[in-house]
């Protein structure tokens, strides 16, 4: 070492070196007044700031977004409606009498009655449950399948990746809506919320898998992974403890964005008559049956359609807010 | 480039077989016996049923059936529907109008999406940007069939600007509204994608260097920012063509257009597995080919790809 | 330099402010300096000093949120501060050119190099004259034949013209070197001069017949050739990704100079490149700008480089100018304490300076007792060392130098790491399916490391040095050769033994932003090795983490923090703490200080040396930075293209490099050519 090591790094300062004998000898040698620019010790740590992890950073940025609060309020409202529809409507959505056929709104029945004479308001309220359940469960399962497949492919590479990549390509080649139509025709009237969830998850995991694969591959060559390997941490443990937590943000973003899409998908299937059976109240079906009276009673269609759009909007806004918070640079999907 | 194309085509082969096998399995391994149902309430003569099964290779093991089906695809012999209509005819009748519809939707979303996305991206955070961001949110939230009814009701019924339904053999004018409904959600995605892409490109180092060379703002935007931002957008648009054709199932239902979606739903209602399989297979092939086209387009747009993989 | 001439660029009291929703940052505060036509000036500072912001403010290319909030920027007398955008469109390119920092991201990946250069020509609608023209004209006075200084004389040679001329010449049996006839670059008068020199009587006629001007494409090739790109016409048709970093930087220089600006702003133009490439490019840029009479504003973090390349320096710190003046004077007599710190910490400068100040003292002081240092450098040893250069057999050399002082308990003399004939071949997938080619990343490398010493492995990117490090860490399997650690061949270790081996050898990596898991708190990061190896209970581990943090001079409260809250240097100290958690015997430092600012770098180096002394550590130091090696290593192995080309004790290698490559590397250290000791160059102040 050429430098003198008796001198600690932080003690280095003005006193170390005698000032130049003739600092102002040349007119064009300018130097600032040393008091003007305060020289701190090199690279000190500011202990005064509160600690913040990446998650708490994300949270604080989330907190500042009005979009997030609007989305949260809406989402909470919708979830409460889905869980306790009885709080919002005393009428039974399944109790329909043809005598009320297309009756106009009146007290206690703010949206009027549909063709079968069912109370439209209570059907809108009770329809939330099917949509929200399908959306949440399908998102959960699709994300799980996608993450496992994508992370395995991305992390282990080689043969696992080749095979899983082909599998992903195959499922990617079949649009979800088509696959769902084909499969759902089998269930016909025997369809349940769960069968819709299974069908959607089975064909919609591809997006998450692709994102997860990319994210895992992006993380797995980081120096901290090499450092963990050099510590003797096992490969699987590295995947669980280091790789996945660092790859989870884009997966969450994709999942939240897909939630809305899945709700639309369920409604579309019900609309086509291939989704939930008529024994379950669902917006898609109500929209489908209101269609016949579109010219005369458009409101019948717009109530459930509005509820559906509002729900999807809430989840999409949530996805947007989460994406902005987790990764300001993320591109859609 | 030829090498790249060859490689992509080669990769497509397992995907083709995998996807068709999957569809075939989904349609044919389902419970229920369409042949038995053919006779209606009276039931079908066992002998006749056996003959029909043999003709359609339904007495063979599943994989053999599948291979016959593949052979049919390559010889363009897709068999007949249960009421003796050639499936090829069903497919050929259904496709033109759907292709027309999908291409119109693609054009609408591409032009509108890129134009608004570019302006929004260049002035990120401005009034235009905020407005169109809200528009995109709302458009994404409204499902295609709802959008269809809304347009149908207001523009078709209330205002009477465009025909509310299309009917058989529709022209450009009749398809305009369905195409808009079909394009709506994708338009929002194109808008958002372009916006983000334009914004990110405009902060790229090479854009700064281009400006430092003394180029005018107009040239920097058109030759550097827009050109580079279009790469992901084009990728999306290409992949979306297949999705639009799939999405046509819904739009065609709303506007009563006799295209693939219409034919598919009918085939499903009438339990016509061979028609269902063929219609879906063609859709999947369109989807695969448009994805291939995207890859090639991508390679053409981004010189780095040609050499990378 | 004419001191009285009006400055080309005059900056006075410049203020630049960045505003965001949450904060306002005064990035540049009251900066003033002048630059004369044809002069050169360097702004030096660490990251965040505001040096680049200054440069970008001049041509109004501040990133979003940044604005000039005060002061004046006068270019050729024209006020640029707060001028409208169209003023800048005119000035950029033709008045002020910019060579940006990172060659990888500054070329548009989708356009061919040539078309990007052509764009610069077209945007500024210029043709060009070079000052060499004048020199040639004066030369021509002594040549047979006549010439005219007309615009025609400045026409460039075109592709067709060149082909026809070469054809005609070969018929006459005359051959000119191809570098004398460069398409789009050589002018008519130059061709005439060369033909005349070749003894042709009708040089003027030939020149005017064949040199009739070029189209833009040929001119682009000429500009690229001028920037030092070989085979420019073909290269112009390639895409950026087909270029190496150095080639890209040359293309960017060609672009910046295409419209012959009067001022060239070079923003860290070579910091992303290998030293030897860096030197070539800076040399070339220097020659070119001198020839063209272009003034240069150089932005750099490297004091040595700045002083070497610019007449005057402006040292910036936290947005202010702390010192400004003639380069050598500032280096020799820094006045401001901050400049003093910088000069002292700059690796290349400090080692040379001390060497000059005390030439007869042993300059290599091993960390540890003074006794060690004294024993260390003996003339005889250097001679012994002469017996080996490539083989690395060190049985006789500096062994005597290691004392048995504090490190004695650990048997300091023993070779702890013995790498012999190590080879690593990577199989590269070829362009065609199924085909592949082999790439020899490491080729027959042998290294010996003695306990308690520091051995440096030096090389440029692609030299294979990091591959060696990964093999020593048992992260990568060698193709052939042996790695013997403490008497055991590590390839024979089973899983359990390998696990134990990992306790003894630990790495610290280059990138302070990538080497710590951003999701882990500092506590978990440092605790992970202990937990993995089941060391102690929770209480023990917590105490140990605290102790380690203190060792690396971080407050213990840091353990509740996350990596994103720490600076680069602090992260690197955490990485060191993690590496030390298991009490390893050897630490592999893979470019561990390369990404840090000089002052922070010096601090981390000091820390490493102190730790070595306290804990008797052995370091294998992987780096591209020879200057740092000189400060830290006992012994150096120089690698080039997978092979060790030279090895020996650090002093010997630095003072008497035996291989051309080593010499080239040494010469390429920025500031190496400077002598700031004051005994060689005249110092006006003295």
**CA dihedral in degrees (A36, A41, A43, A46; nearest 10)?**
-90
What is the pLDDT confidence band of residue A208, given thresholds at 50, 70 and 90? Answer: very high
Three-state DSSP class for residue A97: coil
Give the tens place of pLDDT for each residue, A265-297: 998 888 888 888 878 888 888 888 887 777 777
Distance CA C86, CA C64 (A): 18
pLDDT of residue B102: 92
Put simply, whether C410 touches A (Cβ < 8 Å) is no
Interface contact flag, B212 C61, Cβ < 8 Å: yes
- The secondary structure of residue A109, as a DSSP letter, is B
Nearest of C93, C77, C10 to residue C262 by alpha carbon: C93
pLDDT of residue C171: 87
Put simply, whether A34 touches B (Cβ < 8 Å) is no
pLDDT of residue C357: 29
pLDDT of residue C399: 37
Distance CA B262, CA B258 (A): 5
- Ranges A110-114, B247-251, C180-184: which has the least confidence: A110-114
In sequence order, which residues have a C-beta less than 8 Å from that of residue C499 and are 6 or more positions away?
Answer: A232, C533
Q: Testing the interface with B: which of A67, A127, A166, A173 to mutate, by most B Cβ within 10 A?
A: A173
Give the tens place of pLDDT for each residue, B45-92: 777 777 777 776 777 777 888 888 888 888 777 777 766 778 888 888
Quote the percentage of chain B above a pLDDT of 90: 27
What is the pLDDT confidence band of residue A117, given thresholds at 50, 70 and 90? Answer: confident
Place of tokens 């898991």: C517
Put simply, whether B51 touches C (Cβ < 8 Å) is no
Q: Which residues of C touch B303 (CB under 8 A)?
A: 109-110, 239, 241
Provide the 10 A C-beta neighbour count for residue B189: 21
Nearest of C686, C613, C626 to residue C654 by alpha carbon: C626
Q: Is the pLDDT of residue B242 over 90?
A: no
Q: Is the pLDDT of residue A307 over 80?
A: yes
* Residue A110 CB-half CA count within 13 A: 8
Burial A115-142 (b: 16+ CB within 10 A, else e): beebbbbbbbbbbbbbbbbbbbbbbebb
Distance CA C399, CA C381 (A): 10
Give the tens place of pLDDT for each residue, B208-226: 999 999 999 999 999 999 9
Give the mean model confidence (pLDDT) for residues B101-111.
Answer: 94
What does the block give as tokens for A295?
Answer: 């010219």
Where do the domains of chain A lie? Answer: 112-332
pLDDT of residue B170: 78
Three-state DSSP class for residue C648: strand
Nearest of C648, C503, C475 to residue C582 by alpha carbon: C503
Where does chain B have alpha helices with state H? 2-28, 34-38, 46-55, 62-74, 87-122, 127-141, 144-151, 172-202, 205-212, 217-219, 227-255, 260-269, 273-301, 303-308
Give the mean model confidence (pLDDT) for residues A151-165.
Answer: 90
What is the pLDDT confidence band of residue A3, given thresholds at 50, 70 and 90? Answer: very low
- The secondary structure of residue B42, as a DSSP letter, is G
Interface contact flag, A2 C532, Cβ < 8 Å: no
pLDDT of residue B39: 58
For chain A, give the mean pLDDT: 80
Q: Which residues of B touch C241 (CB under 8 A)?
A: 303-304, 307
Distances (CA, A) of A88 to A12, A124, B2: 72, 10, 64
**CA dihedral in degrees (A132, A134, A139, A142; nearest 10)?**
180
Q: Is the pLDDT of residue A332 over 50?
A: no
Distance CA A173, CA C384 (A): 71
Interface chains of chain B (3 or more CB pairs under 8 Å): A, C
Give the tens place of pLDDT for each residue, A59-105: 877 888 888 898 899 999 999 998 988 888 777 777 777 777 767 77
Q: Is the pLDDT of residue B121 over 90?
A: yes
**How many cross-chain Cβ pairs, B to C, lie less than 8 Å apart?**
88
The answer to whether residues A267 and A308 touch, using CB atoms and an 8 Å cutoff, is yes
User: Per-block average pLDDT, block size 10, for chain C (686 residues)?
Assistant: 70 91 86 92 90 92 88 92 89 92 90 91 64 51 53 75 86 80 81 82 82 81 87 89 90 90 91 84 89 91 88 92 91 88 74 33 36 37 38 39 41 80 83 69 92 91 89 92 92 91 91 85 93 91 93 88 86 92 92 83 88 91 86 90 91 88 86 54 33
Tell me the Cα Rg of chain B: 24
Put simply, whether B173 touches C (Cβ < 8 Å) is no
- Phi-psi label, residue A299: left if phi above 0, alpha if psi -120 to 50, beta otherwise: alpha
Q: Which residues of C touch A231 (CB under 8 A)?
A: 502, 506, 528-529, 532-533, 582
Interface contact flag, A13 C322, Cβ < 8 Å: no
Q: Which of C106, C109, C123 sits opposite B209 (nearest CB)?
A: C106
Nearest of A175, A194, A326, A193 to residue A261 by alpha carbon: A175
Distances (CA, A) of A214 to A157, A219, A239, C487: 11, 9, 14, 42
pLDDT of residue A15: 39
pLDDT of residue C374: 37
What does the block give as tokens for C657?
Answer: 């490099």
What does the block give as tokens for B8?
Answer: 């992509």
pLDDT of residue C604: 87
Interface contact flag, A287 B268, Cβ < 8 Å: no
pLDDT of residue C498: 93
The domain made up of A112-332 has a fold known as MetI-like fold (1.10.3720)
């Amino acid at each position: 070492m050429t430098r003198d090591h008796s001198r600690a790094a932080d003690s280095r300062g003005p006193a170390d070196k005698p000032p130049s004998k003739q600092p102002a000898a040349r007119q064009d040698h300018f130097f600032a007044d040393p008091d003007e620019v305060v020289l701190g010790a090199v690279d000190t740590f500011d202990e005064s700031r509160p600690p913040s992890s990446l998650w708490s950073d994300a949270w604080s940025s989330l907190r500042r977004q009005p979009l997030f609060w609007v989305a949260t309020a809406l989402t909470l409202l919708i979830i409460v409606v889905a869980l306790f529809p009885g709080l919002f409507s005393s009428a039974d959505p399944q109790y329909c009498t043809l005598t009320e056929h297309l009756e106009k709104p009146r007290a206690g029945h703010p949206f009027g009655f549909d063709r079968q004479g069912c109370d439209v308001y209570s059907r809108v309220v009770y329809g939330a449950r099917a949509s929200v359940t399908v959306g949440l469960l399908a998102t959960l399962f699709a994300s799980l399948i996608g993450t496992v497949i994508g992370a395995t492919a991305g992390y282990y590479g080689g043969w696992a990746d080749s095979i899983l990549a082909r599998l992903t390509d195959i499922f990617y080649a079949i649009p979800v809506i088509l696959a769902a139509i084909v499969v759902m025709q089998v269930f016909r009237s025997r369809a349940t919320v769960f069968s819709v969830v299974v069908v959607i998850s089975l064909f919609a995991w591809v997006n998450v898998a692709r994102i997860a694969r990319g994210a895992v591959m992006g993380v797995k060559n980081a120096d901290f992974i090499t450092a963990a390997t050099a510590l003797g941490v096992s490969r699987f443990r590295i995947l669980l403890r280091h790789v996945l937590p660092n790859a989870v943000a884009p997966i969450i973003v994709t999942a939240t964005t897909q939630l809305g899409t899945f709700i639309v998908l369920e409604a579309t299937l019900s609309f086509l008559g291939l989704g939930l059976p008529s024994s379950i109240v669902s917006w898609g079906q109500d929209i489908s049956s209101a269609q016949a009276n579109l010219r005369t009673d458009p409101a019948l269609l717009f109530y459930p359609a509005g509820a559906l759009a509002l729900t999807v909007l809430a989840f999409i806004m949530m996805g947007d807010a989460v994406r902005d918070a987790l990764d300001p640079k993320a591109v859609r999907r | 480039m030829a090498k790249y194309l060859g490689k992509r085509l080669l990769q497509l082969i397992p995907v083709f077989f995998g996807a068709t096998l999957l569809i075939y399995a989904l349609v044919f391994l389902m419970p229920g016996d369409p042949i038995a149902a053919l006779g209606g309430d009276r039931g079908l003569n066992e002998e006749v049923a056996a003959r029909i099964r043999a003709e359609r290779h339904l007495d063979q093991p599943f994989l053999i059936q599948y291979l016959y089906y593949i052979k049919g695809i390559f010889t363009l012999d897709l068999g007949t529907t249960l009421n003796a209509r050639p499936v090829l005819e069903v497919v050929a009748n259904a496709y033109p109008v759907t292709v027309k519809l999908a291409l119109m939707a693609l054009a609408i979303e591409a032009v509108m999406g890129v134009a608004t996305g570019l302006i929004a991206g260049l002035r990120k955070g401005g009034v235009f940007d905020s407005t169109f961001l809200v528009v995109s949110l709302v458009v994404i939230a409204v499902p295609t069939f709802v959008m269809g009814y809304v347009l149908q009701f207001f523009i078709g019924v209330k205002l009477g600007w465009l025909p509310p339904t299309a009917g058989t053999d529709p022209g450009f004018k009749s398809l305009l509204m369905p195409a808009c409904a079909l394009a709506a959600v994708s338009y929002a995605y194109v808008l958002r994608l372009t916006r983000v892409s334009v914004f990110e490109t405009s902060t790229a180092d090479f854009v700064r260097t281009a400006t430092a060379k003394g180029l005018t703002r107009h040239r920097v935007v058109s030759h550097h920012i827009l050109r580079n931002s279009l790469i992901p957008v084009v990728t999306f648009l290409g992949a979306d063509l297949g999705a639009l054709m799939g999405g046509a199932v819904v739009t065609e239902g709303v506007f009563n257009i006799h295209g693939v979606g219409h034919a598919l739903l009918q085939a499903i209602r009438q339990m016509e597995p061979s028609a269902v399989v063929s219609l879906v297979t063609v859709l999947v092939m369109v989807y695969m080919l448009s994805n291939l086209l995207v890859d090639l387009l991508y390679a053409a747009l981004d010189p780095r790809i040609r050499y990378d993989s | 330099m004419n001191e009285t001439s009006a400055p080309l660029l005059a900056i006075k009291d410049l203020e630049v402010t960045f505003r965001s929703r949450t904060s306002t940052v005064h990035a540049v505060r009251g900066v003033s300096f002048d630059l004369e036509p044809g002069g050169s000036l360097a702004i030096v500072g660490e990251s965040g000093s505001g040096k680049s912001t200054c440069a970008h403010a001049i041509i109004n290319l501040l990133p979003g949120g940044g604005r000039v909030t005060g002061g004046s920027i006068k270019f050729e007398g024209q006020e640029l501060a707060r001028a409208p955008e169209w003023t800048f469109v005119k000035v950029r390119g033709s008045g002020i050119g910019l060579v940006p920092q990172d060659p990888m991201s500054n070329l548009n990946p989708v356009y061919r190099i040539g078309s990007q250069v052509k764009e610069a020509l077209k945007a500024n609608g210029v043709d060009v004259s070079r000052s060499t023209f004048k020199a040639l004209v004066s030369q021509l006075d002594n040549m047979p034949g006549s010439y005219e200084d007309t615009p025609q004389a400045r026409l460039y040679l075109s592709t067709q013209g060149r082909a026809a001329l070469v054809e005609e010449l070969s018929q006459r049996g005359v051959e000119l070197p191809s570098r004398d006839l460069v398409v789009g670059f050589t002018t008519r008068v130059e061709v005439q001069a060369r033909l005349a020199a070749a003894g042709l009587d009708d040089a003027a006629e030939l020149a005017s017949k064949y040199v009739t001007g070029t189209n833009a494409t040929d001119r682009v090739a000429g500009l690229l050739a001028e920037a030092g790109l070989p085979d420019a016409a073909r290269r112009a048709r390639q895409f950026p990704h087909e270029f190496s970093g150095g080639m890209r930087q040359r293309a960017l220089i060609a672009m910046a100079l295409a419209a012959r600006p009067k001022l060239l702003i070079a923003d860290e133009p070579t910091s992303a490149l290998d030293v030897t490439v860096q030197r070539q490019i800076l040399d070339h840029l220097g020659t070119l700008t001198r020839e063209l009479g272009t003034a240069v504003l150089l932005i750099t973090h490297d004091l040595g480089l700045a002083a070497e390349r610019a007449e005057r320096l402006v040292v910036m710190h936290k947005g202010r100018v702390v010192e400004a003046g003639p380069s050598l004077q500032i280096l020799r007599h820094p006045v401001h304490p901050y400049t003093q710190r910088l000069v002292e910490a700059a690796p290349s400068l400090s080692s040379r300076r001390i060497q000059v100040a005390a030439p007869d003292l042993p300059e290599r002081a091993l960390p540890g007792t003074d006794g060690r240092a004294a024993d260390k450098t003996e003339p005889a040893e250097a001679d012994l060392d002469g017996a080996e250069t490539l083989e690395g057999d060190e049985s006789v050399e500096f062994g005597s130098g290691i004392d048995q002082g504090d490190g004695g308990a650990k048997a300091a003399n023993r070779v702890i790491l013995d790498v012999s004939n190590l080879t690593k071949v990577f199989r590269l997938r070829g362009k065609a399916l199924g085909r592949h080619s082999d790439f020899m990343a490491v080729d027959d490398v042998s290294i010996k490391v003695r306990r308690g010493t520091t051995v440096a492995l030096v090389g440029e990117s692609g030299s294979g040095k990091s591959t060696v490090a990964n093999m020593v860490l048992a992260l990568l399997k060698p193709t052939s050769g042996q790695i013997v650690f403490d008497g055991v061949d590590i390839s024979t270790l089973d899983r359990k033994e390998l696990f134990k081996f990992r306790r003894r050898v630990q790495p610290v990596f280059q990138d302070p932003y990538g080497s710590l898991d951003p999701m882990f708190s500092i506590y978990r990061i440092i605790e992970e090795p202990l937990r993995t190896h089941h060391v102690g209970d929770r209480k023990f581990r917590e105490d140990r983490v605290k102790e380690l943090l203190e060792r690396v001079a971080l407050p213990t409260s840091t353990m509740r923090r996350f990596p994103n809250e720490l600076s680069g240097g602090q992260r690197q100290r955490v990485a060191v703490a993690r590496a030390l958690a298991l009490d390893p015997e050897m630490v592999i430092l893979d470019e561990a200080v390369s990404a840090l600012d000089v002052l922070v770098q010096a601090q981390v180096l000091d820390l490493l040396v102190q730790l070595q002394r306290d804990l008797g550590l052995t370091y294998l130091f992987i780096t591209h930075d020879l200057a740092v090696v000189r400060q830290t290593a006992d012994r150096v192995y120089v690698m080039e293209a997978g092979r060790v080309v030279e090895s020996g004790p650090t002093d010997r290698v630095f003072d008497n490099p035996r291989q051309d490559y080593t010499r080239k590397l040494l010469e390429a250290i920025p500031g190496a050519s400077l002598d700031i000791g004051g005994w060689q160059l005249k110092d006006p102040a003295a």
